[in-house]
A and B are shown apart, each in its own frame.
Chain A
Amino acid sequence: MATYLEFIQQNEERDGVRFSWNVWPSSRLEATRMVVPLACLLTPLKERLDLPPVQYEPVLCSRQTCKAVLNPLCQVDYRAKLWACNFCFQRNQFPPAYAGISEINQPAELMPQFSTIEYIVQRGSPTPLIFLYVVDTCLEEEDLQALKESLQMSLSLLPPEALVGLITFGRMVQVHELSCEGISKSYVFRGTKDLTAKQIQDMLGLTRPVVPVQQGRPLQPQEQPPISSRFLQPIHKIDMNLTDLLGELQRDPWPVTQGKRPLRSTGVALSIAVGLLEGTFPNTGARIMLFTGGPPTQGPGMVVGDELKTPIRSWHDIEKDNARFMKKATKHYEILANRTAANGHCIDIYACALDQTGLLEMKCCANLTGGHMVMGDSFNTSLFKQTFQRVFSKDFNGEFRMAFGATLEVKTSRELKISGAIGPCVSLNAKGPCVSENELGIGGTCQWKICSLDPSSTLAIYFEVVNQHNAPIPQGGRGAAQFVTQYQHSSTQRRIRVTTIARNWADAQSQLQHIEAAFDQEAAAVLMARLGVYRAESEEGPDVLRWLDRQLIRLCQKFGQYNKDDPNSFRLSDSFSLYPQFMFHLRRSPFLQVFNNSPDESSYYRHHFARQDLTQSLIMIQPILYSYSFSGPPEPVLLDSSSILADRILLMDTFFQIVIYLGETIAQWQKAGYQDMPEYENFKHLLQAPLDDAQEILQTRFPMPRYINTEHGGSQARFLLSKVNPSQTHNNLYAWGQESGSPILTDDVSLQVFMDHLKKLAVSSAS
């Protein structure tokens, strides 16, 4: 364990956990003075090639309030066949099956390398996965056709036992019965009326009717097929039917007059989908996949009226409190999302339209249930098609990269308490001794439900050190946390993944260096960013920025080395050096800045930011910029306007966009067609290199990024120009005309100015 960097990396590899602090301040007071909270990013289902699941039940601590899982940190008395819980110190008998254990014959969960272990448990009968397509039919013919094809294609990707259902909507909502011969049958609902789950189930005939007792006719309930079977059928049975049905889908037939939006009943459609699953398959893994091509324009959850002359709400409208449908719609979708989450189902939103589609209002559906959110311009784009296809991608075991109905429980040793979590989850409101009163994110609980997750889903979990200053922890004492994730694997198995970690305590007064050295600035940046974004959802943007700034200044004051009131003397140690820069870019990021973004886009960005793992999150905060030139192999360069040079090709990855930018000269060369001349084959290779790299990123990322190929002066270059640090602008004329990059026309502060101010403020004795 050479450096903390390696330690951190190793830990992440093994456990999918990144802590902001890897040595923990041992008292509450000290911990609060650290500015960045003790927290971690947890990727519960991080893919582990080297982790074969064990086929038995975990052993639990017998204390009712604890129930921690046996783990390598537990003290074991092999002779007495006892083990002591490392969280509550309860001594537990091993179960009979463990009679044969000894130091040399240890079960896997006691081996140190299995700090993360996965159990496969047999509970109840396995229920097939459920996919319920909710399809908007108010689309352009071309779009609808593309969507239909995608859907038909997806049928072949689904596991054959999976149950599928189809709901289409436009002005009306149709729930299609899938097992009909001779006549296709659907239940139709008005798109303007909100229905309770009970009503929906009644109307769909899902509640078993009170069978009238016919005289002389004994009741034979057995002969009735499961009531839900009409709407959700195993794919292998109705493959053809459904394919035909999808093929026959027509655009919404109701006329749309000039100057109107089509009437789209997204709110009701979702409500029905939720109600349908709620009534038939509660607490089984199910995906509601909503495909929508525009904003909901009627009924509950409507986001905009059908008059085209009234544009859909913008941030400006929202600030002016001028978005008349927003609150109501948001509420509608929130209620739906919570119901869905309570049932363990998830909602995916695939929104493809040039205008906004109401993601702002609907975001909670995906956010709270762990569903996907995909935003595109059209269903007839590779962005959508490939993204959608990737939903059904399989891992190296040939299993779907999706899991359902997970609950994450966090257990901590006594010095720690849990403040909350931020991620695609909802609280299960499980109070316990380790739940803190101070909430950060979704708090007040030690259990969360994550209705759907994939190997990259990452939660931020925030802790609070509760150990009092006057009760020092003995030297060498370690704090521990255990993450227990129970979920339904895509193979329909129930599995439990247990991760147990421990970190050293340190006295922040005497051993601040240790703590400082064990700071994980990347994790800290992401954790702080999540907090900031979480706040931004409910607070005014400037407030959040101010809060971030203050935190940053306080951190610098705490960990910087400087002389009072001498900005030039300010220094930060290596483990903190990048942090301000992250904060700089975070401040400029679309997660906190709404300028130039529609509310939908902001929601989309924030949605992904709140669920991606650390690496991806960092890319989102501070995009990566690679430079390709004849002067050497591709290299990462500063995300700075000075990196934009004429003889370079730049490749920027912002997570959401991949931008390839040809410098001025390169672009001219390309126009001149040099790449086609055999003597300039190296130029051709140069041009090709970023394309190949981009392709690689595109292949792996979900959702698929927008791919932008542009050049100096191109309109799309704005994607790059808006991201780079504006070190050269029209304001600092000294750089004007020099060969040091390309000026950005902006009034935004550059990193340098930012840092100058930061130093000034950090060293100021006034603050």
Chain B
Amino acid sequence: MSVNQQAHTGLPYGQPQPGYQGYQQSGYGGQQMPGVHHSQYGAYNGPLPGYQQPAPPQGTLRAPPTSGAPLPTSGAPVPAGQPVYSQFGQGDVQNGIATSAVQMQRPSASQPFIPGTAPTPVSQPATFQQYGPPPTSAQQLTNHMAGMQIGSSTSAPPPAGLGYGPPTSVPPTSGSFTATGSGLYTSYSSSQGPPPVTMTHGLPPTSLSQGLSLAQPAFSGPPLSAQRLPQAPGFVPPPCSTGIGPSSYPPTTGAPRPSTMQGSQLPGQALTGLPTSQPNHVSSPPPHPSMSGPAMTGLQGPPPPTHPSQSGYQMQQNGSFGQVRGPQPNYGGAYPGTPNYGSQPAPPPPPKRLDPDSIPSPIQVIEDDRNNRGSEPFITGVRGQVPPLVTTNFLVKDQGNASPRYIRCTSYNIPCTSDMAKQSQVPLAAVIKPLAMLPTDETPPYLVDHGEPGPIRCNRCKAYMCPFMQFIEGGRRFQCCFCSCVTEVPPHYFQHLDHTGKRVDFYDRPELSLGSYEFLATVSYCKNNKFPNPPAFIFMIDVSYNAVKSGLVRLICEELKSLLDYMPREGNMEESAIRVGFVTYNKVLHFYNVKSSLAQPQMMVVSDVADMFVPLLDGFLVNVNESRTVIVSLLDQIPEMFADTRETETVFAPVIQAGMEALKAAECAGKLFIFHTSLPIAEAPGKLKNRDDRKLINTDKEKTLFQPQTSFYSNLAKDCVAQGCCVDLFLFPNQYLDVATLGVVPYQTGGTIYKYAYFQLETDQERFLNDLRKDVQKEVGFDAVMRVRTSTGIRATDFFGAFYMSNTTDVELAGLDCDKTITVEFRHDDKLSEDSGALLQCALLYTNCAGQRRLRIHNLSLNCCTQLADLYRNCETDTLINFLAKFAYRGVLNNPVKTVRDTLINQCAQILACYRKNCASPSSAGQLILPECMKLLPVYLNCVLKSDVLQPGAEVTTDDRAYIRQLVSSMDVAETNVFFYPRLLPLTKVDVDSDTLPAAIRNSEERLSKGDMYLLENGLNIFVWVGVNVQQGLIQNLFGVSSFNHISSTLNTLPVLENPFSKRVRSIIDMFQAQRSRYMKLIIVKQEDKLEMLFKHFLVEDKSMSGGASYVDFLCHMHKEIRQLLS
């Protein structure tokens, strides 16, 4: 119930939402009616299965149309209803189907299972069939009917529309829904009958049906019912589906999931409704073809009842779209509404509610991928291969293309022409993480030394030797795979070719056989034609009053003493070549001379912050081991020296300048670690004022909150990049400190920002120290330039991430660590050919931590297509979301947030509409059809839209938003994935004896049980949510306190307790911490505690406090958008 209430609060989509609410409520009401629920579930399941079905795409696709067809037929019998149906048919048919499917599912669940043999996820039709055959289904139907009636009775009084709006109205709406639902159900059965037939006819039934089912539920009545269903019965069905699953479903939890499974089998088709189809399939043992058959049967089965039901069915369909209006009063009335659907897509989003279980589930998709692709290594030899999801653990074998750990693309099949690309609106982008860390069982890139003349390169485009270069003329020349230019092979590199035209030394040379490798750069690749000096780390510590008082200064100094021994070193070197320097500052800067020959450190104060300079050269940057005693003495003294400070003002820009100047003077690249506490208000360049103004939110000026206050920092960043000075910023603010401005330099120099708001030694120490350690120790390249070369036809046009660009092609990075990604967007400048495909070569020139200049090369070959379907079959939604998020987050700098959001929605709608139009077989407009590999696009996109940057809640500070904005900009795909759709694990289901994690669950409060504990992780925070009814034993085991009430919500670590449960939970947390580049903050949330609000913020499938739509609502909205585009 509470969930529903929440839903009420925010109504992003206006009408639909109320409707949803209504649904929910109604659903609750409905819950009471078990039958209804069942039916609803069925409906949901139906759609889901539909998704799965994609395998038999045509069939399913057509199914909707078929359903449409039936509608008219049905219409004939029931005039009013029929038209509705017909309209629905297109859109609603699915719904109808879905609902039916839902119904079916339940019954099917029980029964289907028996038949469950049906391996192929034929699709909805199948489900219908199943329903049809099994008596249970019939029963369900009846139940539904009953429910419907009840609902109808209730609904009758309140007009559907009313119901949607206000919660109060909800009850009636719910009633209406139920009514509609019931009607639908009945209709489903009937309608199902027909659709299945079509389905069978359907060429690729799976996809279609799926799509249909999904779409319909969302919009039409069925969804409503579905919602109800999910709550109670919905869960039940899943097992059924699993039962069914054996074919593909088994793994999937709910019936809906199975659909996904199928989807995976049939990539393009994955649409909604799979679950239903699944059940169908289940029922119908025969494979796809058989599916059709069964569908038929199913249809047949229902039909008898259907005729009446058909009308009802129509009603349902209507309901799904228009029912709300018309249908509720009367089905007949509903039908009239339906015409509206046809004519006016806008009104359609009716109050009906989708069953959350029936819509594509990220968890399901992740699970499926993990199960299907996690077991065997991903071998990169084949062009245009879509890698497993980022959430899947898999081993990569480099056989000529770069590992997906280095490069992931939004699509592995690129449209041949720009027209196609434009039409699809699918962004072509690669997310590149050039220095990514590989798991220990994968080999790091080999180092290739081509000697004095440097790496072999194409004469014209300067591409580096790679596996795609074609050797000709017996190996005397090679033709560039990027620009086709022919280049002489230098004598020292000559090698004979074998009979296949491959060089004899093919396997001996990484640059000929692998996707990723490194070249040793020659002196001509170095600045000023001089080999670089080893880089330096400079630690710059704020010693103003706040920093000293909070104990931060002491903490840092203590930590540095040991941390200095763990700086990154190259390969097997004994000690790190990196030199270190120390600066403290408040309003002035203090440099330290820690030359090894000194008896004690020397402090040099520079007060001239207006014109910063480095007061010393010799002795500032030192080798740790040589100067250890002096350094230790210094670190001991710093906290003492400033113990009595009263200086509260700080400077900031001069600090960076100082570091940069120091590196310049030492003629090396390096990294600054700045520990900063407050807004720099002291008189100095880069002085800032407090300009935080929440009133700007949702105005055209909101963008100014993300823009730097002054251009000073941009210029400074430019200088830093020129010097190879990377800035890592650790912030400890107690109030606004303008991250948007302070972050400019770290951002543009490839640095990282860490933020610890209201830093307290006890609670934040561990997190900070872990971050610091990781940051200091991680591998990093300096003074880097990255260039992405592409084969003729496309070209890198836009770049996202933390770097600086002085021209349009070279990405300049003062520093680049193993966690940073650069997202590159490509556009066509010519035609591509299917034969040759498209090639990317990312070359990163950098100085490694030993001061060696290197080139890291990543190559990736992609397919090209002339059919849009191929494009949609080879997309990677996670990468897509990564790109879209970065695109949007950059957009807020210059556009009102609202515009950015609309653009995002619009683009996705276009992507999906294009698919619907070009790839999906014709179906009713009311159907939402999603490409299999993009079926999570709506849910993820919704998460992006709801994120703090694009839709801030009241508790989100301006700094937080700026912080997250920059953070996301350099995230890799795995990080954005979990950041936008957090991982939620039921802790109480943890198996203490095994290493496997419990199955994740979807991010919705409905999924939480009072008796369970959950762990939620998004890459920045870890929440442990404790339900009020959790067993005392578990509480005792995990928290060491006797009852729920004794758990302290201020805990930030779990107590170390010697019992298997505690150990296991802690080890899971530790494991998660290790997976992320930042140490996550652990927050214990007790149900109904005030912190729960914060936690709920991350239940991204729910409606958010700040007005973000729930998944279901958003899906409906998306559908509406698509329909608008299509009409």
Contact = CB atoms under 8 A, between A and B. Distances in A.
A205 B603 contact: no
Interface stretch (B219-227, B609-617, B737-745, B1089-1097): B609-617
Contacts of B615: 172, 174, 188
A224 to B, nearest CB: 11
A182 B599 CA distance: 9
B17 to A, nearest CB: 49
Contacts of A189: 606-608
A174 B602 CA distance: 12
A204 interface: yes
A188 B601 contact: no
A186 B600 contact: no
B503 to A, nearest CB: 49
Contacts of A672: none
A199 B610 CA distance: 11
A248 B595 CA distance: 13
Interface in A185-199: 185-190, 193, 195, 199
Interface residues of A, number: 27
Nearest to B602: A184
B831 interface: no
Contacts of B591: 188
A182 B637 contact: yes
A202 B682 CA distance: 13
Interface residues of B, number: 27
Interface in A170-184: 172, 174, 180, 182-184
A183 B611 contact: no
Given A190-B611, A193-B608, A254 B603 contact: no
A80 interface: no
B641 A183 contact: yes
Nearest to B603: A185
A199 B646 CA distance: 20
Nearest to A217: B646
A474 interface: no
B618 interface: yes
Interface in B632-663: 633-634, 637, 641, 646-648
A241 B637 CA distance: 18
B485 interface: no
Contacts of B602: 183-186
Interface string B586-602: 00100100000010111
Given A183-B601, A254-B617, A204 B641 contact: no
Nearest to B607: A203
A205 B608 CA distance: 11
Nearest to B604: A188
Given A203-B588, A203-B608, A212-B646, A186 B617 contact: no
Nearest to A253: B618
A214 to B, nearest CB: 8
A185 B637 CA distance: 12
A202 to B, nearest CB: 7
B3 interface: no
Interface string B760-788: 00000000000000000000000000000
Contacts of A211: 646
A313 B616 CA distance: 31
Contacts of A183: 600-603, 633-634, 637, 641
B605 interface: yes
B913 to A, nearest CB: 61
A248 to B, nearest CB: 8
B550 to A, nearest CB: 15
Interface string B237-249: 0000000000000
Contacts of B598: 248
A534 to B, nearest CB: 39
Nearest to B601: A183
A211 B611 CA distance: 25
Contact of B603 (A184, A204, A255): A184
Nearest to B592: A183
A253 B641 contact: no
Contacts of B613: 172, 190
A185 B619 CA distance: 14
B609 to A, nearest CB: 9
Most chain A Cβ neighbours within 10 Å, of B607, B647, B648: B607
A685 B545 CA distance: 77
B611 A193 contact: yes
Contacts of A193: 608, 611
Contact of A184 (B588, B600, B607, B616): B600
B646 A186 contact: no
Most chain A Cβ neighbours within 10 Å, of B603, B619, B647: B603
A209 B618 CA distance: 33
Interface string A197-228: 00100111100010110100000000000000
A187 B634 contact: no
Nearest to A254: B617
Contacts of A174: 604, 615
Contacts of A203: 588, 607-608
B607 A187 contact: yes
Nearest to B598: A248
Contacts of B617: 253-255
B646 to A, nearest CB: 6
Contacts of B607: 187, 189, 202-205
Given A172-B613, A174-B615, A253-B617, A187 B606 contact: yes
Contacts of B606: 187-189
Contacts of B611: 190, 193
A184 B616 CA distance: 14
A721 to B, nearest CB: 50
A183 B613 CA distance: 21
B648 A212 contact: yes
A253 B611 CA distance: 21
A186 B606 CA distance: 9
A195 to B, nearest CB: 7
B93 to A, nearest CB: 72
A212 B615 CA distance: 29
B822 to A, nearest CB: 37
A253 B601 contact: no
Nearest to B605: A187
Interface of A: 172, 174, 180, 182-190, 193, 195, 199, 202-205, 209, 211-212, 214, 248, 253-255
10 contacts: A183-B601, A183-B641, A184-B600, A186-B602, A187-B606, A187-B607, A189-B608, A202-B607, A204-B607, A253-B618
Given A188-B591, A188-B606, A189-B607, 20 more contacts: A180-B603, A183-B600, A183-B602, A184-B600, A185-B604, A186-B602, A186-B603, A186-B605, A187-B604, A187-B605, A188-B615, A190-B611, A202-B607, A203-B607, A204-B607, A209-B647, A211-B646, A248-B598, A253-B618, A254-B617
- The 9 closest A-B CB pairs, nearest first, are A203-B607, A188-B615, A253-B618, A187-B605, A185-B603, A188-B604, A190-B613, A184-B602, A188-B606
